[in-house]
Structure 1
Amino acid sequence: MSEHNNTVAAQEEPTSQFSLQRIYVKDLSFEAPKSPEIFREEWNPSIELDLNTRQRGLEGDFHEVVLTLTVTVKTGEEVAFIAEVQQAGIFLIQGLDAASKGHALGAFCPNILFPYARETLDSLVVRGSFPALMLAPVNFDALYAQELQRMQAGADVQA
């Protein structure tokens, strides 16, 4: 009888599942507005990185997460190039509570996508005949925690 109860209890417990289904480039853009003149100037770049994530539910427990990296590189006041990639992934997420699911979508999934986006940007920049662009790693857990704090502070102000 106790074996039967253990089997029933195991079947009733929800199982959590997280799996990556697909990684793909959703959008890609490169612009070098001052080429070829920019190649004749002294190379003293300043780099600006804009990073955004978004997610949307698909059918069932599938979710699309899109990590957008936009890099603007200037030398002096001139824009050398602007490169952007939207690196996306489809993830299956089942059996997680709301907080865990939010963390997975807001931090864990972008962390998986970032190396792919970084490599795509680097390749794109090199193909534009510019020096390699190796972006530093990003702490998506810290960014997600900051966003939660910002949202909480906004909710406190409205209350």
Structure 2
Amino acid sequence: MPDENKQPLFQIQRVYLKGLSLEQPNSPAIFLEQESPTLEVAVSTVAEQQADGIFESTVTVTVTAKIRDKVAFLVEAKQSGIFEIRHLPAEQLDPALGIGCPTILYPYLRANIADAITRAGFPPVHLSEINFQAFYLQQQKNKMDTQPGQTAEEPAMALAQE
């Protein structure tokens, strides 16, 4: 049967925590501080084809909390998913991987980060929602701005949170 007669398929095969790292370089002294920490949040996404019609998408978030110049904690988490994506027009595949998959994965990642921070003895951190469509469009713009012969670094988005 020709491909144009097949229905598009977008299916989650598995969602999993690929990696989680938490550092508290100034504990236990940092727990005696009275100030609230300032947060820096960086987000990046990547997708890789694993087999015919099978893709792994990963969202990475790094949260750094500082009180003045001291790091209270640093958390890096990678939430991944395996997605079966078939019979999509070529122009729709990249947006499905860059917008659809991260949108599905991010709520799991937010929960895992909040849990890790709470288990480390800190008040919970509730990360903001992310508009992955705008994030994807910014990544595409960054790729277009890269000169021929240069390599683009993995685009990342930094968020400031209080």
**Normalised-by-shorter TM-score class:** 0.7 to 0.9
The one-letter amino acid paired with 1:51 is V
Instruction: Find the counterpart in structure 2 of residue 5 from structure 1.
Output: none
Greater than 6 Å deviation, 4+ residue runs: none
Encode CA deviations 1:4-47: one digit per residue, 9 max, x unaligned. xxxx99x9613210000100011111111101000001132111
Residue 107 of structure 2 is aligned to residue 115 of structure 1: yes
Task: Map 1:6-155; keep pairs closer than 5 Å.
Answer: 13-154=5-146
Identify which of structures 1 and 2 has the higher relative contact order when contacts are C-alpha pairs closer than 8 Å and 6+ apart.
2
8 Å CA contact 1:44, 1:76 repeated in 2: no
The CA RMSD over aligned residues, in Å, is 1.8
The secondary structure found in structure 2 opposite 1:58 is: strand
1:140 and 1:42 map into 2 onto residues whose CA distance is: 35
Number of residue-to-residue matches in the alignment: 149
Q: Distance in 1 between matches of 2:42 and 2:79?
A: 14
Q: After TM superposition, give the deviation of residue 151 of structure 1 in Å.
A: 1.9
Which consecutive residues of structure 1, in runs of 5 or more, have no partner in the other structure?
A: 1-7
Of all paired residues, the percent bearing the same amino acid is 36
Aligned residue identity for 1:60: D
Q: Greater helix share, 1 or 2?
A: 1
SS in 1 for 2:13: strand
Q: Give the counterpart letter for 1:40 in structure 2.
A: L
Q: Which amino acid aligns with 1:39?
A: F
Maintained 8 Å contact 1:47/1:73 = yes
Say whether the 8 Å CA contact 1:66–1:87 is kept in structure 2: yes
TM-score by length of 2: 0.86
Amino acid at match of 2:144: Q
- TM-score (ref. length: structure 1): 0.88
- Structure with bigger gyration radius: 1
Structure 2: stretches of 5+ with no match in the other structure:
150-162
- Supply the distance in 2 between the matched residues of 1:18 and 1:30 (Cα, whole angstroms): 33
